[in-house]
Structure 1
């Protein structure tokens, strides 16, 4: 069991990495970290003493005062080193640097100098060190106007604003889930190394696109999916990741349940439940009164629930939070709810008769990928470490 702590655990990459590690309860024990530890030397020392591995993500990405950003990021590195020296511990430290290391700006400078300081500490103390040089990271739950231009584009397009391309450069991008998997793989590689490891790791990017091309793709998602409910054509796993990212910025409490158009005559009822540009698999289930299905979440799969007959309650809760969204659907007024990634979901038959539900999943989903994870606790409790 490897004890892993993440400085900046509550941040964009930190929260994703914390959740990703939780998928491997037999390999990793997650050591909780709070930002306040940097204001409390005792707490910080206790934290470093508890870890076999520390992933140092805590940093300031943007600030109106560039010098404040520079000094803050170096201060956090120095505090971490000081705590480890005080406790005489040598965990494997992975430091999140950036491809901006090569640029002449205060952020890049703070990352380059921070990596050099930690590398020097590792050489002096005999510890393992990995300096991760990370390309632009995107994914659900990033802060618009702070973490990435993709977060800003997605938020604005789903909240009635118009994004603008300020610099139409070619950008190398990595999905946050793939970055987390790379970090976990690196932890295991160094753990199994036969000798001390001090390295600079150039994290590979997933793909490269112009900013305007990405905006064009998101504008298509807005028109087709956000406005019309049509699942767009997604040509590869990168577009799946971009689509799931886009969906992560929608206000689900206002969006669902989405009503479907029904056509009824003497023959009965006809309802088109999904218009697809993507293909996929359609299935259905029957559920007895009072029975709940689900209480699991997905990390990649795109999925739609449509109630065909009966009455149902669908619940969503984002992993790591306690807020539960409740949606009530009735087969007499056909409607659907889509399941966002990293949201626990379930469906309960709350009617007096049998419930008929139709399910659709995207064609890129492969059951062998192990995408479905069951909750270690009830929907109404906060997420607990397994």
Structure 2
């Protein structure tokens, strides 16, 4: 399939191009404001699908609303109509089309031209009235408040909030592109107006607060719930504004004659991740917990784990190494230790089900001893 993307230099178009490049069955043709209408006319005669993403939302001259939104769309409609090829057109309108402002009026007029083409000549038309779109490559101080906030906070610059309680509706760029591709593939049919889900409702103040938590997580090591929903999408977006020289950051390292201990990541409700090393012959541990639990994974070296029930005195011993991925769990009420029984340094990953609390560590020293 040959597809055309107008507004090829825009934020949404760049993301769309990245996704379409992953498809072996798609050839992409581009049109941007630097190109002339003659080239656009030639492209329309060749392609099988049009992503009409070009538009103007912050012009220096207000007349550009009409020329960049309404007139360009009418030109495409006229050319497609003359060709008689019924080439499907997907158009990115705006939620502002519902309001009486210059931008909204120009977008509404573009929609009307497309709907007329659809009714009169049965050309498939798909119109997206998008709210605020956010994601990687969005332009600060232009595309959205999310882009501006992410850019400034990541760079250590101030942000300005006039109304913290101001409501804002957001859609994430990956969700937008997924729906675009579904339309192109014929998986979405029906009304000319197509929506993107989910739509996230938040406020300007909450948005800024969340982004500051992302920034601070490098110091606290406490991650937000970045695996789902709006927080996931915002975190991905925030990280896209981190400059290469800040791709890395240091975490505390605690070192003693036994080896080192390094905390990597903490969660609000699912514990923390760390690793430690031990020199040959070194034993670490020798304590028990009432409620805390841990998972150990030896990734280098050879280890002997020993356990003793603090209640019955039952003893248990096991051996594991980096040669075989094997999780060893500590059980409440069993004192335990780990000894490097290899000839090289041992490296062990560790997960604990709760963040270490120095005031209430739930860690009590008790030697394991030897098997009776």
Same fold (TM over 0.5): yes
Tell me the residue number matched to 2:207.
214
Q: What are the residue-to-residue correspondences of 1:122-161 with 2, within 5 Å?
A: 122-161=118-157
Structure 1 unaligned runs (5+)?
285-307, 310-355, 361-386
In 2, Cα distance between equivalents of 1:101 and 1:116: 11
Tell me the residue number matched to 1:95.
91
Tell me the residue number matched to 2:65.
69
Kept in 1, the 8 Å contact 2:175–2:197? The answer is no
Kept in 1, the 8 Å contact 2:265–2:272? The answer is no
Question: In the alignment, is residue 31 of structure 1 matched against residue 23 of structure 2?
Answer: no
Tell me the residue number matched to 2:176.
179
SS in 1 for 2:230: helix
In 2, Cα distance between equivalents of 1:12 and 1:52: 23
Kept in 1, the 8 Å contact 2:264–2:273? The answer is no
SS in 1 for 2:75: helix
Tell me the residue number matched to 1:162.
158
Kept in 2, the 8 Å contact 1:140–1:248? The answer is yes
The alpha-carbon distance between structure 1 residues 357 and 240, as it changes in their structure 2 partners (threshold 3 A), is: farther
Aligned-residue offset at 1:114: 0.3
Aligned-residue offset at 1:220: 1.4
Could you say which structure has the larger radius of gyration? Answer: 2
In 1, Cα distance between equivalents of 2:249 and 2:2: 43
Tell me the residue number matched to 2:249.
258
Structure 2 unaligned runs (5+)?
276-298, 301-346, 352-372
Q: What root-mean-square deviation, in Å, do the aligned CA atoms of Structure 1 and Structure 2 show?
A: 3.2
Q: What are the residue-to-residue correspondences of 1:215-230 with 2, within 5 Å?
A: 215-225=208-218, 230=222
What is the TM-score normalised by the length of structure 1?
A: 0.65
* Post-superposition CA distance 1:154-190 (Å, at most 9, x none): 1111122221223442222111100111122223336
The alpha-carbon distance between structure 1 residues 280 and 234, as it changes in their structure 2 partners (threshold 3 A), is: farther
In 2, Cα distance between equivalents of 1:19 and 1:281: 35
Question: In the alignment, is residue 50 of structure 1 matched against residue 46 of structure 2?
Answer: yes
In 2, Cα distance between equivalents of 1:71 and 1:269: 65
Between Structure 1 and Structure 2, how many residues are aligned?
Answer: 283
Aligned-residue offset at 1:232: 2.7
Question: In the alignment, is residue 199 of structure 1 matched against residue 192 of structure 2?
Answer: yes
Tell me the residue number matched to 1:15.
14
Structure with the greater relative contact order (CA < 8 A, sep ≥ 6): 1 or 2? Answer: 1
What is the TM-score normalised by the length of structure 2?
A: 0.67
